[in-house]
Amino acid sequence: MAALQPVRGTRDLLPDAARAHRAVEERAFAVATRFGFGEIVTPIFEFTEVFKRTLGDTSDIVTKEMYTFEDRGGDSLTLRPEGTAPIVRAFISGGLAQQVPVKAFYRGPMFRYERPQKGRLRQFHQVGAEVLGVEGPAADIEVIVLGAHILEALGLGDTVTVELNTLGDLESRAAYRETLVAYLKGRQGELSEDSLARLERNPLRILDSKDEGDRAVVADAPVLADSLNTTSRDFFARVTEGLDSLGVSFEISPRLVRGLDYYTHTAFEFTTTHLGAQGTVLAGGRYDGLCKQMGGPPVPGVGWAAGVERLSMLMTDPPAAPRPVAVVPAGAPEDEVLATRLADRLRRAGLVVDLGYSGNMRKRLKRANTLNARAAVILGEDERAAGAVTVRDLDSGEQTRVALDDLEAALDRYR
């Protein structure tokens, strides 16, 4: 019988990977906390309508990638493919409209049925930040700067580029839509089936197409910047001026768009060349129409999400396993009992302690070296008689006899 394997597109986080994964989340949360963000934790599944209503019937996520199922009560549920819609749903159902601005940080697994590739899985993890209730560009600036600070905290500040664009307000988008549709209809014979289906319903999504034929058509398409009204130009100018004043470098990327109708004004991505073709590590934008589209009040929002797997692959200083103190009994039954008590005492004092389950002293010291232990606390008949232990520094080999009452203080250097 063949051994059971993980489902394609999923992976186990074994200790080294789990440590890096946790470090990304914790460093991101620590920085977000300094920016005044509070954590919101939503369920990993929602009513399907949460995503169909927001992502649209023509999006790849809804048509091809969502894990949707009917529960025993007959409700259609979906494992969350992204984090923004659940945060906005929680904002509405939690009655947070009276507490704006709401600054939310989130983290957790997402699920999409897509072709696995480097840094992209069917169960993947994201950290994200959303600001709800701020109309002006100050929130756009803050969430972009937050993203920059988090990437710096991960040691990635010099490896990413901020790509920035504006989608304009609803009036500007409507004007651009007309211009874009007129252009695309002139070349619709060159478009893919998916893009032809989107031509009338959501032509901006064609700009995101990965089809090579579509990309050739899009390369000559008019740019949104030419359709911006004065209000949109002023909003974007204030965003760029704010980033400049804070020393955040960026590149204007006129082809960077968001296809969903509720997106307005700022769109941005942090990209890298260190992950091959799929180089986006953090992306977001302003979504002023989303809350109203979900049945809530017309509250503006802006935010981003970042892939934890990709960030952990890029980390320059992944956390090492903690170096324990090994408690090593010489082998007599009395030593084993004392070692168990001593290990418990040291753990309560905050030390990382390894206590082998069996073996003589030589084998246990060998295990301590395998674990890269920092020190060994050795106890045998002589130590028991003296009410002491022998502390061996496993880097230098130096040994010291230490009274039991003084042990915690003696081990402070190994914390």
Give the pLDDT confidence of 101-134 residue by residue, as tens digits: 999 999 999 999 977 666 578 999 999 999 999 9
Distance CA 315, CA 337 (A): 43
Give the pLDDT confidence of 325-360 residue by residue, as tens digits: 999 998 788 889 999 999 999 999 999 999 988 888
Q: Which band of pLDDT confidence, cut at 50, 70 and 90, is reported for residue 276?
A: low
Residues 310 and 329 in one domain: no
Model confidence, pTM = 0.89
User: Among 324, 322, 348, 338, which residue's Cα sits nearest to residue 384?
Assistant: 338
Residues 148 and 252 in one domain: yes
Domain boundary among 290, 314, 338: 314
Angle, CA of 256, 260 and 266, to the nearest 5°: 45
Give the pLDDT confidence of 289-313 residue by residue, as tens digits: 899 999 999 999 999 999 999 999 8
Average pLDDT of span 361-368:
92
221 in Cβ contact with 184 (< 8 Å) = yes
Residues 28 and 115 in one domain: yes
Q: What is the dihedral of CA 369, 375, 381, 383, to 10 degrees?
A: 170
Q: Which residues are annotated as a binding site?
A: 82-84, 112, 126, 130, 258, 262-263
* Domain presence at residue 194: no
Residues 382 and 269 in one domain: no
Distance CA 216, CA 403 (A): 77
* Domain presence at residue 301: yes
Domain count, the chain: 2
| Integer CA distances (angstroms), 283 to 11, 60, 404, in order | 24, 17, 55
Q: Which residues are annotated as a binding site for L-histidine?
A: 82-84, 112, 126, 130, 258, 262-263
Q: What is the mean pLDDT of the chain?
A: 91
Residues 264 and 145 in one domain: yes
Q: What CATH number is associated with residue 377?
A: 3.40.50.800
pLDDT at residue number 55: 77
Residues 281 and 372 in one domain: no
Domain that holds residue 37: 15-169+229-314
Residues 70 and 156 in one domain: yes
pLDDT at residue number 197: 83
pLDDT at residue number 277: 58
* Domain presence at residue 274: yes
* Domain presence at residue 206: no
Q: What is the dihedral of CA 382, 384, 390, 394, to 10 degrees?
A: 100
Residues 52 and 146 in one domain: yes
Residues 345 and 382 in one domain: yes
Residues 134 and 249 in one domain: yes
* Domain presence at residue 207: no
Burial status of residue 278 (CB atoms within 10 A of its CB: 0-12, 13-18, 19 or more): middle
Give the pLDDT confidence of 67-83 residue by residue, as tens digits: 999 999 999 999 999 99
pLDDT at residue number 22: 96
Domain boundary among 285, 314, 343: 314
Residue 3: CB atoms within 10 Å: 4
Distance CA 24, CA 274 (A): 17
Residues 240 and 149 in one domain: yes
Q: What CATH number is associated with residue 105?
A: 3.30.930.10
Distance CA 352, CA 229 (A): 61
